[in-house]
Structure 1
Protein backbone atom coordinates (compact mmCIF):
# COMPACT_ATOMS: atom_id res chain seq x y z
CA UNK A 1 0.00 0.00 0.00
CA UNK A 2 2.84 2.39 0.87
CA UNK A 3 4.39 1.88 -2.57
CA UNK A 4 1.11 2.71 -4.30
CA UNK A 5 0.72 5.98 -2.35
CA UNK A 6 4.36 6.90 -2.95
CA UNK A 7 3.98 6.19 -6.66
CA UNK A 8 0.81 8.31 -6.83
CA UNK A 9 2.52 11.26 -5.07
CA UNK A 10 5.52 11.07 -7.40
CA UNK A 11 3.25 10.82 -10.44
CA UNK A 12 1.34 13.97 -9.38
CA UNK A 13 4.58 15.86 -8.70
CA UNK A 14 6.07 14.97 -12.08
CA UNK A 15 2.95 15.81 -14.10
CA UNK A 16 2.25 19.07 -12.21
CA UNK A 17 5.56 20.76 -13.09
CA UNK A 18 5.69 23.00 -16.17
CA UNK A 19 6.91 21.34 -19.34
CA UNK A 20 9.41 24.14 -20.10
CA UNK A 21 10.16 26.28 -17.04
CA UNK A 22 12.80 28.28 -18.97
CA UNK A 23 10.63 29.49 -21.83
CA UNK A 24 10.88 33.08 -23.03
CA UNK A 25 8.74 35.64 -21.18
CA UNK A 26 5.74 37.02 -23.06
CA UNK A 27 6.28 39.98 -25.36
CA UNK A 28 4.78 43.32 -24.35
CA UNK A 29 4.81 44.96 -27.79
CA UNK A 30 1.80 47.21 -28.22
CA UNK A 31 -0.80 46.22 -30.78
CA UNK A 32 -1.07 49.78 -32.13
CA UNK A 33 1.31 52.75 -32.10
CA UNK A 34 0.85 55.28 -29.31
CA UNK A 35 -1.36 58.27 -30.05
CA UNK A 36 -2.27 60.89 -27.45
CA UNK A 37 -2.43 64.58 -26.59
CA UNK A 38 -2.36 66.28 -23.19
CA UNK A 39 -1.77 69.65 -21.60
CA UNK A 40 -1.94 71.40 -18.25
CA UNK A 41 -1.08 74.78 -16.82
CA UNK A 42 -0.71 76.35 -13.38
CA UNK A 43 -0.51 80.06 -12.69
CA UNK A 44 -0.73 81.20 -9.08
CA UNK A 45 -0.06 84.89 -8.51
CA UNK A 46 0.19 84.50 -4.73
CA UNK A 47 3.03 81.94 -4.77
CA UNK A 48 4.45 82.99 -8.13
CA UNK A 49 4.12 79.52 -9.62
CA UNK A 50 3.79 79.64 -13.39
CA UNK A 51 4.31 76.45 -15.35
CA UNK A 52 2.69 74.42 -18.11
CA UNK A 53 3.23 71.37 -20.30
CA UNK A 54 1.66 70.24 -23.58
CA UNK A 55 2.54 67.19 -25.67
CA UNK A 56 1.19 65.32 -28.68
CA UNK A 57 2.33 61.91 -29.90
CA UNK A 58 1.49 59.90 -32.98
CA UNK A 59 3.51 56.68 -33.24
CA UNK A 60 7.20 57.53 -32.88
CA UNK A 61 6.73 61.25 -33.56
CA UNK A 62 6.27 63.42 -30.49
CA UNK A 63 6.22 67.19 -30.10
CA UNK A 64 5.61 69.39 -27.12
CA UNK A 65 6.65 72.24 -24.93
CA UNK A 66 6.87 73.09 -21.26
CA UNK A 67 7.38 76.28 -19.33
CA UNK A 68 8.77 76.84 -15.84
CA UNK A 69 9.47 79.85 -13.66
CA UNK A 70 13.19 79.97 -12.88
CA UNK A 71 14.46 80.98 -9.42
CA UNK A 72 15.88 84.22 -10.84
CA UNK A 73 12.45 85.36 -12.07
CA UNK A 74 12.78 84.47 -15.75
CA UNK A 75 10.41 82.10 -17.54
CA UNK A 76 12.10 79.23 -19.34
CA UNK A 77 10.33 77.62 -22.29
CA UNK A 78 11.45 74.33 -23.82
CA UNK A 79 10.02 73.26 -27.17
CA UNK A 80 10.96 69.75 -28.25
CA UNK A 81 10.42 67.11 -30.91
CA UNK A 82 11.19 63.41 -30.80
CA UNK A 83 11.34 61.19 -33.86
CA UNK A 84 12.49 57.65 -34.51
CA UNK A 85 15.30 58.75 -36.82
CA UNK A 86 16.17 62.18 -35.36
CA UNK A 87 15.98 61.42 -31.64
CA UNK A 88 15.26 64.14 -29.08
CA UNK A 89 15.78 67.76 -30.15
CA UNK A 90 15.02 70.74 -27.94
CA UNK A 91 15.00 74.51 -28.20
CA UNK A 92 15.43 76.23 -24.83
CA UNK A 93 14.65 79.94 -24.34
CA UNK A 94 14.61 81.98 -21.11
CA UNK A 95 12.68 85.27 -21.23
CA UNK A 96 12.63 88.08 -18.73
CA UNK A 97 15.10 89.94 -16.61
CA UNK A 98 17.14 88.29 -13.89
CA UNK A 99 15.97 89.48 -10.49
CA UNK A 100 17.91 88.34 -7.47
CA UNK A 101 16.37 88.66 -4.03
Structure 2
Protein backbone atom coordinates (compact mmCIF):
# COMPACT_ATOMS: atom_id res chain seq x y z
CA UNK A 1 0.00 0.00 0.00
CA UNK A 2 1.35 3.42 -0.94
CA UNK A 3 0.36 6.53 0.99
CA UNK A 4 0.93 9.96 -0.47
CA UNK A 5 1.76 12.92 1.74
CA UNK A 6 1.33 16.56 0.73
CA UNK A 7 4.72 18.15 0.15
CA UNK A 8 3.82 21.42 1.85
CA UNK A 9 3.58 19.91 5.39
CA UNK A 10 6.54 19.29 7.69
CA UNK A 11 7.34 15.70 8.62
CA UNK A 12 6.31 16.14 12.29
CA UNK A 13 2.63 16.21 11.24
CA UNK A 14 2.97 12.66 9.94
CA UNK A 15 5.17 11.23 12.67
CA UNK A 16 4.08 7.92 14.18
CA UNK A 17 5.34 8.95 17.62
CA UNK A 18 3.58 11.43 19.89
CA UNK A 19 4.92 14.70 21.27
CA UNK A 20 7.69 14.72 23.89
CA UNK A 21 5.32 15.84 26.66
CA UNK A 22 2.28 13.89 27.84
CA UNK A 23 -1.19 15.21 27.03
CA UNK A 24 -2.72 17.52 29.64
CA UNK A 25 -6.41 17.02 30.36
CA UNK A 26 -8.48 19.18 32.71
CA UNK A 27 -11.97 17.93 33.55
CA UNK A 28 -12.59 20.20 36.53
CA UNK A 29 -15.93 21.91 36.95
CA UNK A 30 -17.75 23.54 39.81
CA UNK A 31 -21.25 24.62 40.70
CA UNK A 32 -21.95 28.20 41.68
CA UNK A 33 -23.57 27.86 45.08
CA UNK A 34 -25.74 30.95 45.31
CA UNK A 35 -26.31 31.86 48.97
CA UNK A 36 -29.82 33.15 48.21
CA UNK A 37 -31.40 30.71 50.65
CA UNK A 38 -32.81 28.25 48.10
CA UNK A 39 -32.56 24.82 49.63
CA UNK A 40 -32.81 21.76 47.51
CA UNK A 41 -32.17 18.07 47.49
CA UNK A 42 -29.42 15.89 46.11
CA UNK A 43 -30.18 14.15 42.84
CA UNK A 44 -27.95 11.18 42.11
CA UNK A 45 -27.90 9.52 38.69
CA UNK A 46 -26.24 6.14 38.19
CA UNK A 47 -25.81 4.88 34.63
CA UNK A 48 -25.58 1.24 33.57
CA UNK A 49 -25.47 -0.38 30.15
CA UNK A 50 -28.20 -2.86 29.25
CA UNK A 51 -26.92 -4.85 26.27
CA UNK A 52 -27.66 -3.09 23.01
CA UNK A 53 -30.34 -0.91 24.59
CA UNK A 54 -27.80 1.74 25.56
CA UNK A 55 -27.45 3.58 28.83
CA UNK A 56 -30.05 3.13 31.56
CA UNK A 57 -30.27 5.86 34.20
CA UNK A 58 -31.28 5.15 37.79
CA UNK A 59 -32.27 8.41 39.49
CA UNK A 60 -32.49 8.70 43.27
CA UNK A 61 -33.06 11.71 45.53
CA UNK A 62 -31.79 12.51 49.01
CA UNK A 63 -33.59 15.09 51.12
CA UNK A 64 -36.74 17.05 50.51
CA UNK A 65 -37.15 19.79 47.93
CA UNK A 66 -37.80 23.18 49.47
CA UNK A 67 -39.78 25.82 47.62
CA UNK A 68 -39.33 29.25 49.21
CA UNK A 69 -42.23 31.67 49.02
CA UNK A 70 -41.96 34.21 46.24
CA UNK A 71 -41.99 37.85 47.24
CA UNK A 72 -42.25 40.33 44.44
CA UNK A 73 -40.44 43.64 44.72
CA UNK A 74 -42.50 45.08 41.85
CA UNK A 75 -44.80 47.97 42.64
CA UNK A 76 -47.09 49.10 39.83
CA UNK A 77 -47.08 52.78 38.93
CA UNK A 78 -50.23 54.68 39.89
CA UNK A 79 -52.78 55.32 37.15
CA UNK A 80 -54.59 58.64 36.92
CA UNK A 81 -57.88 59.04 35.12
Higher relative contact order, chain-length normalized (CA < 8 Å, sep 6+) = 2
Q: Which is richer in helix?
A: 1
Which interval holds the TM-score relative to the shorter structure? 0.3 to 0.5
TM-score by length of 2: 0.34
Q: Which is richer in strand?
A: 1
TM-score by length of 1: 0.29
